[in-house]
Amino acid sequence: MYAYYTQMKEPEITALKAWLLFLLCGVWVFTGLVGHDPWKPDEAYSFGLIYHYIQSGDWLIPTLAGEAYLDKPPLYYWTAAIFAKLFAPLLPLHDGARLASGFYTALTLLFVGLTGRELFGNNRGWPAAIILIGCLGMLLRAHEILTDNALLTGCAMMLYGFALSLRRPRLAGMFIGIGLGVGFMSKGFIAPMLFLLISISLLAFRHWRTRAYLSTLGIAILCASPLLTVWPYLVYQHSPALFTDWAWTRNIGRWFEYAKGGEYSKTLYYLGALPWLAWPAAPLAAWTVWEARKRIWNEPEFQLLLVTFIVMFVVLSGVKDINDQNAMPMLLPIALLATAALSTLRRGAANALDWFGIMTFALLAIVLWSGWTGVLVNNGAWLTKRLQERQPNFDPVFDPYAFWIAVVVSVLWIVLVWRVGRSVRRSLINWTAGISLIWILAMTLWLPLIDSSKSYRPMVVDLKSSLPKRYNCIADVRVGDSQRAMLEYFGDIKLRQNATKVCNLLLVQGDRIAKPIEDEIGWEKLWEGGRQGKQDERFRLYQRVKRK
């Protein structure tokens, strides 16, 4: 499949270079996974589901703050709960749970590398992985407690299976089937839709209309069957109502509701978002397609990647929840198409990308270092004042370990940029190294400030100290899923929904100018607070006043 690319002379990746690339990937993957609380919004409610499994031992129904929450199947939550328990003696539960994202991201990089090597030759495995972690859309989401990371792994496994299918159909079917099952057990029916449409669409090309390809699909369905059926069957046996809530209300029914609703303002969101989410892979992928435009109909590797991208774009644009993390699967075909550009991209374009990355990350590193120094010594600079306005209660403390890690990484980056020559491959390595530098600086020097603004811990501790000694229960009004999860985790505070007539305490979430409920007869405000620097998210605790 890669005859054209094996003709292009490129330097071999030596064992030493492979280890250095492995180290770069490892540093990128595991930086930021530990050392901070669950962050709003997605991490907070995801960890709430994981926390239920850890505390209850009931591994069937995802539950959030005491309520069944069947938005997604539980594979990622199971994995995260296992990691949290395994590392509980060493790490807080939320840090241990976040290691599941590192696990799935590492698997994703492995299968992307295998796919790049299968499609374009032995020298393309490492570059494919490096290009993927260089995409801006991977930086934050791959380090969060998100089920999307497990879906991404499933999609990467399926893509590798499709790439392998024309050479080893049986093994390919196994990988496609396991990837399909992992994707389904992570985010529901998205993965089966992708599998179905990609499989059918590839039949439009003669290279894929073979008995071997059809046997691959049959093996894939057979391997996926247990993962597609066992958990839904157990949920149905447990409660047909919960099964209906999961399968229809929260999944298939939402697609039909979105299709009939006519609210298509975000349908083309990814057209505007992908150029920066997939940067710098996006322009390289576009160049690959343009350069190979006359060969696309004859080369199955391009057929596979273009069909995969188009199907993903259409399916994910038709999902009601359109956001950046849902775009992550589309980064896979884009990164692999960009890998093919290593043979054809002009040296001048590679040098331009290299210098752009070096200058950009050098400037960002200077800003991060100078901003951190200004906050620490309170130098009165504009950036320092802005940060103090947003976090007036933040008290910076010098952390020598974080400081020296940041210093060492900064020096290593300078050495890398100075010693590495100019080429397409090296420009991508420099880009990924630059992104890793910025991420490490953010997760060392700036982590306390970021964590103070995104964590609910201080707010929950303050609220818990204001609770009366005796009360029967706490009802909630407009309290979100993430907030209820963090109230239970940090304060063992469990809210009851639709219980304002029963409970003698009431917690209300709103903005700063929301109408105070104490204006209504029968309630007295006991406490008010929120996350530091966030005036648009306020919480008010009320106590029922006894009528005389």
Is 2 within the bounds of a domain? no
Q: Which of 136-145, 196-205, 464-473, 521-530 is the least confident region?
A: 521-530
- pLDDT tens for 451-509 read 988 899 999 999 999 999 899 999 988 899 999 999 999 999 999 988 888 999 999 99
Residue 494 lies in a domain: yes
> Which pLDDT belongs to residue 95?
97
Question: For residue 1, is it within any domain?
Answer: no
- Identify whether residues 202 and 305 lie together within a single domain: yes
Domain count, the chain: 3
Residue 452, in any domain of the structure: no
Domain limit, last residue, from 447, 470, 487: 447
pLDDT at position 250 over 90:
no
Which of 423, 447, 471 finishes a domain? 447
pLDDT, tens digit (0-9, with 9 covering 90-100), for 345-359: 777 888 888 889 899
Reported as a single tens digit per residue, the pLDDT across 273-302 is 999 999 999 999 999 998 888 787 788 999
Question: Higher-confidence residue: 420 or 159?
Answer: 159
Looking at the domain assignment, is residue 17 inside a domain? no
Give the residue numbers spanning the domain of 505. Answer: 457-544
Indicate if 413 and 489 belong to the same structural domain: no
Residues 38 and 154 in one domain: yes
User: Of 288, 313, 343, which residue constitutes the final position of a domain?
Assistant: 343
DSSP helix/strand/coil, 373: helix
CA angle in degrees (0–180, nearest 5) for 144-149-150: 135
| Same domain? 320 vs 434 | no
392 and 516 fall within a common domain: no
Residue 518 clears pLDDT 50, i.e. is over it: yes
What is the arithmetic mean of pLDDT over 194-201?
97
Give pLDDT, residue 545: 83
Cis status of the peptide bond prior to 280, with omega within 30 of 0: yes
Q: Per the domain annotation, does 118 fall within a domain?
A: yes
Residues 332 and 415 in one domain: no
pLDDT digits (tens, 9 = 90+) for 127-153: 999 999 999 999 999 999 999 999 999
Q: Within a 10 A sphere around the Cβ of 132, how many other Cβ atoms?
A: 31
pLDDT digits (tens, 9 = 90+) for 340-390: 888 777 778 888 888 898 999 999 999 999 999 988 887 777 777 877 777
Alpha helix stretches (DSSP H) within 245-346: 253-261, 269-277, 281-291, 300-317, 331-340
467 with 418, same domain: the answer is no
Q: Are residues 245 and 146 in the same domain?
A: yes
pLDDT at 515: 59
Q: Are residue 155 and residue 248 in the same domain, yes or no?
A: yes
**440 and 531 together in one domain:** no
Identify the band that residue 7 occupies on the pLDDT scale cut at 50, 70 and 90: very low
Check whether 171 has a pLDDT greater than 90: yes
Does 339 share its domain with 351? no
| Main-chain phi, psi angles of 497, to 5 degrees | -85, 145
Residues 327 and 393 in one domain: no
Measured distance CA(286)–CA(338) in Å, rounded: 8
At residue 462, the pLDDT reads: 94
pLDDT tops 90 at residue 49: yes
Q: What percentage of the chain carries pLDDT values higher than 70?
A: 93
- pLDDT tier for residue 11 given thresholds of 50, 70 and 90: low
